[in-house]
Structure 1
Amino acid sequence: METTSHTTSRAVAQAPAAESGQQVPSARRTVDGYLLAPFPWYGLDEAFTGPRWLMQVGMAADGAVEHGSIGHGDEPSVRNEATAEDREKFAVVVTIAANPSRRSADGTGLLEATSVSSAAWLAGVGLLSFTWPGQMDHSLRDDWLEQQTETAWALADDLAGPDWSTLSLPVDGVPTHFHYRESEFGWVLAGSTQEGVHVGAYGRGLSAYGLGFAMIKDISAYA
């Protein structure tokens, strides 16, 4: 798969959430990393009128911002007794720079290219970070998460496979093709924009079919 490093992506894709189920206040997140990105950020379009909040950015070894996430709706928490009725309603939009295979900043190695699969992978792992199957013992969650993460990796590497369907959603007002899948934990989708970035999204409680995406004009407004 053309994507960012498997290990690095797993670490940065997961939003900060306490396993006790407590939410991490938005006040602890800053806009600084987002402002360093050389690419535009995407979120839900103006049809979404609920809360919006910063999550985190992912950086390369040289400090360059490679991707990041913007949350919409309820701030999700990891809960081990959540039911479909009482889970938060949220959607998270992941933006990842569309980069070809390229030399690292120090010239010593080759950075892997990014693709729509990269966005699908980050979105899939992001959804897992807020998922904890009911009745699962705390000590087993790490093993479950590792197993499910490997599954998300395999699924993102096979976007033409039977686990994915296609969905057309507006991006900056233009109908855009997305790869889409649902699971018992929520939904994941991924596609590309005309602005040189790939967009992934994941959520629960909000239908993906009615969403639209738009470039964020001023990310500093989230500070």
Structure 2
Amino acid sequence: METTSRAEGARAARRSAESYLRASFAWYGLDEAFTGPRWLMQVGTAADGTVQHGSTGHGDEPSIKSDASAAEKERFAVVVTVAASPVRRTGDGTGVLDATTVSSAAWLAGSGLLAHTWPASLDHALRDHWLDQQTETAFELADDLAGPAWSTLSLPVDGAPVPFHYRETEFGWVLAGSASGVHLGAYGRGMSAYGLGFSQIKDLGAYT
């Protein structure tokens, strides 16, 4: 049974890596200063199958926990890479796709953090309603990066300092900025954002 489970896990990791390899842009993760576990999450695609964004995880794999003390022990940082794209027509020519911006990365990071959050005082039956409300708030915040909810933070990307928009929540932190050809978002809990650095992922094998 253990051998079968390990084999299934290896196949799933290969399938996941293959979806990342289809992207036309470079993926980012934490730089070499981070020495903990790394893992692939999932990619987002357009209707025609084009890879548009995806996430890579670092540290403990987060889980949804209603036990606040258990959730607080998790230490993770997730990096979201979004292809920088201008306004463009859909593949069938019948519509227009919005441009991706730093706000796109901020929105994906903010909603990603919420997906791994469950306030201890919240009843199970109410979580979907709570998540809808909080997700709408995260969207509004991402659309107002110059607003009071955000501060600025300079972090290294491929060794060069880059300004990021940063905000803290009761559930963790969220940040967003840009790199060469992509927008970067990140969210985490239990790990300080102030000590992080980002770099292009040269070998996805480190994440599988």
Normalised by the size of structure 2, how large is the TM-score? 0.92
Task: Tell me the CA shift for residue 86 of structure 1.
Answer: 4.0
Preserved CA contact (<8 Å) 2:118 2:127: yes
- Decide whether aligned partners of structure 1 residues 161 and 86 sit closer, same or farther in structure 2, where only a CA change above 3 A counts: closer
Residue aligned with 1:132, SS: coil
1:206 matched to which residue of 2?
191
1:57 matched to which residue of 2?
43
Residue aligned with 1:83, SS: helix
Which one-letter code corresponds to 2:74 in the other structure?
A: E
Preserved CA contact (<8 Å) 1:171 1:213: yes
Task: Tell me the CA shift for residue 56 of structure 1.
Answer: 0.2
1:94 matched to which residue of 2?
80
**Matches of 1:137 and 1:26 in 2, distance apart?**
33
Task: Tell me the CA shift for residue 26 of structure 1.
Answer: 6.7
Task: Tell me the CA shift for residue 221 of structure 1.
Answer: 4.4
Q: What runs of 5+ residues in structure 1 fail to find an aligned partner? A: 1-24
2:65 matched to which residue of 1?
79
Which one-letter code corresponds to 1:34 in the other structure?
A: Y
Preserved CA contact (<8 Å) 2:41 2:56: yes
Residue aligned with 2:130, SS: helix
1:148 matched to which residue of 2?
134
Q: What runs of 5+ residues in structure 2 fail to find an aligned partner? A: 1-7
Residue aligned with 2:78, SS: strand
Which one-letter code corresponds to 2:42 in the other structure?
A: Q
- Decide whether aligned partners of structure 1 residues 220 and 106 sit closer, same or farther in structure 2, where only a CA change above 3 A counts: farther
Residue aligned with 2:114, SS: helix
Preserved CA contact (<8 Å) 2:153 2:165: yes
Show the 5 A alignment for 1:12-23. none
Task: Tell me the CA shift for residue 87 of structure 1.
Answer: 3.0
- Decide whether aligned partners of structure 1 residues 42 and 72 sit closer, same or farther in structure 2, where only a CA change above 3 A counts: same
1:187 matched to which residue of 2?
173
Preserved CA contact (<8 Å) 1:26 1:53: no
| Structure with greater proportional helix content | 2
Residue aligned with 2:191, SS: coil
- Decide whether aligned partners of structure 1 residues 128 and 79 sit closer, same or farther in structure 2, where only a CA change above 3 A counts: same
2:109 paired with 1:126? no
Task: Tell me the CA shift for residue 220 of structure 1.
Answer: 4.3
Residue aligned with 2:167, SS: strand
* Identity of matched residues, %: 71
Task: Tell me the CA shift for residue 84 of structure 1.
Answer: 7.4
Structure 1 residue ranges (4+ consecutive) displaced by more than 6 angstroms after TM superposition: none
2:202 paired with 1:217? yes
**Matches of 1:186 and 1:77 in 2, distance apart?**
13
Show the 5 A alignment for 1:2-21. none
2:160 matched to which residue of 1?
174
**Matches of 1:185 and 1:221 in 2, distance apart?**
28
CA RMSD of aligned residues (A): 1.5
Task: Tell me the CA shift for residue 109 of structure 1.
Answer: 1.0
2:4 matched to which residue of 1?
none
Residue aligned with 1:143, SS: helix
Task: Tell me the CA shift for residue 148 of structure 1.
Answer: 0.0
Task: Tell me the CA shift for residue 43 of structure 1.
Answer: 0.1
2:182 matched to which residue of 1?
197
Corresponding pairs, count: 198
| Greater Cα radius of gyration, structure 1 or 2 | 2
Task: Tell me the CA shift for residue 108 of structure 1.
Answer: 1.4
**Matches of 1:185 and 1:108 in 2, distance apart?**
41
